[in-house]
Amino acid sequence: MPGSVLITGASTGIGRALAFEFSRRGFALGLCARRLELLEELKEELSSENQVAVAHLDVAELESVPEVLNKLADELGGVSIIIANAGIGGRSYPGEGTFHQDRKIIEINVLGAMATIDAGADILKKQGGGQIVGISSIAGFRGLSSTPAYSASKAALSTYMEGIRNHLLQHKIAVTVINPGFIDTPINTHRKSRPFLISAEKGAQLMADMIEKQVLSSTVPVWPWAVISRIMYLIPERLWCRINV
């Protein structure tokens, strides 16, 4: 029986695609993002058969996260799945004046996600259970030289979610970590190479399947990234430094 799902960063990219996919599956939706006007447009495009609540939220404004999530959950009459999806990317190199960008990446991708998870866990504990999902990335498996702050942020998110899983399971809250490869969204369109690229629609379908099955952690798609990720771990650091450009 479909429930309700709350998605941060729902105005574009993976969040937007997940909104369409969960709407298609009959879920009520609570959508939040920095650009409220895009959410309003998205709400008009979604199926009128499902309840959709939208709200402005910049997850970097940490104090506002619990208020917005609770407001959406109340409007939906409860929530069964909370997806911490909001995130940004960007190329950066130490000593080249890009620290302000690195700081923003960490604020949104790590602290913003943790604030979402914290507020979401509080909501779900009071309801007696549910599921928290973190949208991480294959970029978190090893440090990528062109996007080191982004890699660090996703590694931090995955490690944090692994750390909280046992505690939340005691409260009947499942924890799922999704590690997308290259999904065709604005966050990676600047890259010259996007190996094994899949559409946002296909990516959302695969992710929703995994979320409904309450998998612990998975790459998206599973093949070939599950194999590639293991190979990435095995590459010696000296060699990784030479090939990681």
What is the C-alpha to C-alpha distance for residues 157 and 177, in angstroms, rounded to an integer?
9
What is the C-alpha to C-alpha distance for residues 95 and 113, in angstroms, rounded to an integer?
27
What is the C-alpha to C-alpha distance for residues 113 and 157, in angstroms, rounded to an integer?
7
Residue among 53, 42, 55 nearest 75 (CA): 53
What is the C-alpha to C-alpha distance for residues 104 and 110, in angstroms, rounded to an integer?
10
* Set 93, 150, 160, 233: catalytic member: 150
The answer to whether the CB of 207 falls within 8 A of the CB of 116 is no
Residues 6+ apart with CB under 8 A from 211: 81, 83, 131, 133, 176, 178
Place of tokens 């937007």: 16
What is the C-alpha to C-alpha distance for residues 30 and 116, in angstroms, rounded to an integer?
13
- For the question of residue 160 being annotated catalytic, the response is no
Long-range contacts of 153-158 (CB under 8 A, 24+ apart): 153/87, 153/105, 153/106, 153/109, 153/110, 154/109, 154/179, 156/106, 156/109, 156/110, 157/84, 157/109, 157/110, 157/113, 157/114, 158/134, 158/217
What is the C-alpha to C-alpha distance for residues 51 and 69, in angstroms, rounded to an integer?
16
Catalytic residues: 150
